[in-house]
Structure formats: C-alpha cells, structure tokens
Amino acid sequence: MSYLILSFTHKNTEISTREKLSFTQDDQKILFLENCLKSQEIKEIMLTSTCNRTEIFCFCQDIHEAKVKILDELQRHSKVQFDVLNKYVDLYDNDGAIYHLFSVVSSLDSLVVGETQIIGQIKESFQFSSRYGFCGKNITTAIKYSSKCASKVRNATSLGTGQVSVASTAVSLAREVFKDTKPQAIIVGAGKMCDIAMRHLLKSGFGIVLINRNTTNAKRLKENIIKEKPKYKNMITIEPFENLRENLSNALLLFSATSSSSPIITDDMIGKFTQHCYWFDMAIPRDIQSIQRENLTIYAVDDLKVFINKNKTKRENQAKEAIKIIEFMQKEFFEYLKEKQLAPIVKNLYKKADNIINEKVQTAIKKGYVNRKDSQNIEKLCQTIIKKLLHNTTKNIKKTKNKETIDIIKNFFDN
C-alpha cells in the first residue's frame, strides 16, 4: 500500500487550466471522490481545491492504476484532455508524498511562502472527506502528523508573520499605488480571502463597499470585523449584488474572490474610465473576464508573483530551517508507522509466552509438581526469563525497516 499525491499548482499549471480543474461546489467534489473510490486500487482519498492548487491525496494499492483513474476522473470533471493533465501533473508517492504534504501544510509550497491560510484549507478538505467517509486511518494519521509538523515550523521560524497571503499581498500593492489617496475599495465576496483583504484595507484607512450574492453572509462578515474593531463601523457599507454593475463605473480599487464557476464581472458591464482603476481578481476560477480597457489594470492571482518574489529572499533562510524540520518529521512519521505495524507482533509474542507459562504452571499444579500457593511466584520468575530471552529479539524486530521483512516476521511468529 502506498501514499500518493497528484498535484496541479501555480508551479506547474497555468491559471487557465487551474481554473478548469477547480471544484467550486460540494456536489462536484462528492461525485469526483465517489468515482475515484470505485477503483479497487484506491482505498482512501481527499481533494484540496484552492486558488493556487488542485491536489488529490490518496492511499492506494497500485500507484500507476490509481494515477490513471484519478486523471481520468479529472478529465471528466474539467474537460481537459488526459494527455494535457498527464503533462502538467506532479506525482509524489510514499516518502515524496508525505514530504510534499508536510511542505504544503507548513506553507513552503505556497505562492506566498509562509501564508497561514493553507493550513485551514487542508483541514477543511480533510474534514470534508472524513464526513463523507472518503478517508480512513491512513490519511487521518498523515494529516494529523502534517499539522504537528506545521506547528513546529511556525514555532521555530518567523514564517507566517507579516504580509503572507495573496490577499494581503494584493492590498500591499494597492497601498503602493494609492500612496496619497484612499479611494473607497469595492470587495466582491464574503469568504476568507475577502475577510483578509478587508481587514488589511481597513487597517490602512480605506473605506469598504461590500457586495455579495448572499447579503446575510456580507452582514455577518461586517459584524465579525466590527465586533473586533468597533472603530471600523462607519467604514463599511453593504450594497446588494444587483448594484454591482453601477458600482463598477467608478471603482478605482476592487478586490474580488467568490466561488462562482464563471466570471461575474464581464466586458459588457463596464464602460470607459476617466481615472486609472486597479482591480484584483483573487479567485480561481477567475471572477473578472479578460477585459481590455484604457485606464484599467487587472491583477489575477498569478500576476502577483512578481510582487511576492520581491520579498522572497527575506524568507529563504527561514525556509531552510523549515525544510530541516519537515525532513525530520517525515522520518519520524514513517518510524511511527513502522512501530504501529511492529507493536502488535511484539505484543502477541509476549501474550503467547504468558499463555504458555500459565498453561504449564496449571499443569504442574495438577500433577503435584508445585504447590498452588507458589504459582504466582513461579509465573513471575518465568516472565522474567521470557523478558530476558526475548529482549534482543524484540529490539531487532523494532529496528526492521523493510516491509517484506516485516511480513516475514509476522508469518514467522504466526501473527
């Protein structure tokens, strides 16, 4: 049995393909995961779909067959040809899969190294798969260990501090553009990305017009922010989604991150601009259609790479420390798995010895070889002898690394 990850990210897949691979609805995820598990080769599976990555993590019997099945189902979902998916995909198995998982959760594989949003996204993906019974103890163990690894990275390095998300990077760029003025910023959406963008904008003195299809969610977001920072109460206005078009006409600054499967801001919704406007599309699939207008600059997720890379060198030394931690945790994880496999062998060995001692002592009592009142002391003596006899054997069993050798030991001791 093997761990396997199929990965499509900002590193290997262009945005136009990533948005086709994204899963915006729960029923899409359920159908995809159910279909994957129809293969006898795949035993457990979870799916992570964010603005920067679509990754499938599974526990499988045959790596090649599992890969083919997953790519086939991705082709069905995305309408991207199998050969194209096969060209883009990065494949990680066993040691590589666990190292990659730990790197992702520790945010070393993120577009913005050190961003903390990915931890919550992986947790949500795992909880979703668990809720519907798509993953079991093997993926659960790996996810728990990945969280442990991420925690160690955060505690030992400064990764996770400062401007460390796509949303905060976009706001940082907006602050550079509007150094002397603070135009009202339009936020379209009410999810985590918009929450982060709003908090950074408000902190920088920008007023907010919040627009979302679900007004209740918009109100909840506003209330949560005001509860923490009452001073922002008069800086946030909520507009109904129907007013989006008219708000676009004078939107000098706009941030959008919805879960829509198609653009919500299209070419026909906007006219000419008299002032230069800066719009940030933080969604995958993209919220803003590819629009060419004078005085309009649109930044998609991948466009922010240039600005993110400016601060890359500052984090490189911290990333090196994080890699050491990840390598150590990866090794510890497989040691833990090995111990879990070998522990029952050792336990059963001692259990069998105890049963034999008990049986032989009872036989000796019946035949009159020993007195019943001495039986407990005799049993303790026998157990001491067994422990001494099996000490080196069990020590060597615990050192075993090779899976085939473990199987031989199981058969040898009839486990």
Looking at the DSSP bridge assignments, the partners of residue 312 are none
The C-alpha atoms of residue 179 and residue 21 are separated, in whole angstroms, by 37
| Beta carbons within 10 angstroms of residue 38's beta carbon | 9
Q: Give 371: exposed, middle or buried? Use CB within 10 Å, 0-12, 13-18, 19+.
A: exposed
Looking at the DSSP bridge assignments, the partners of residue 187 are 210, 255
Q: HSE (CB half, 13 Å, CA atoms) of 277?
A: 26
The C-alpha atoms of residue 343 and residue 361 are separated, in whole angstroms, by 27
Separation of first and last alpha carbons in the chain: 19
**At 22, phi and psi to the nearest 5?**
-70, 155
Exposure b/e, 199-237, CB count within 10 A at least 16 = b: bbbbeeebebbbbbbeeeebeebbeebbeeeeebeebbe
The C-alpha atoms of residue 91 and residue 330 are separated, in whole angstroms, by 17
Rg from Cα positions in the chain = 29
**Which amino acid would we find at residue 313?**
T
Whether the CA torsion 294, 296, 301, 306 is positive or negative: it is positive
The C-alpha atoms of residue 361 and residue 359 are separated, in whole angstroms, by 6
Looking at the DSSP bridge assignments, the partners of residue 236 are 208
Q: Which two tokens stand for residue 224?
A: 């949560």
Catalytic residue chosen out of the listed positions 51, 149, 194, 277: 51
Strand order in the sheet with 2-9: 42-49, 53-60, 2-9, 90-93
Residue 90: enclosing H or E segment and its boundaries?
strand 90-93
Determine whether 51 is an active site residue. Answer: yes
**Which amino acid would we find at residue 182?**
K
Place of tokens 């990333």: 319
Task: Confirm if 202 and 224 have CB atoms less than 8 A apart.
Answer: no
Question: DSSP state, 11?
Answer: T
Q: Catalytic site residues?
A: 51
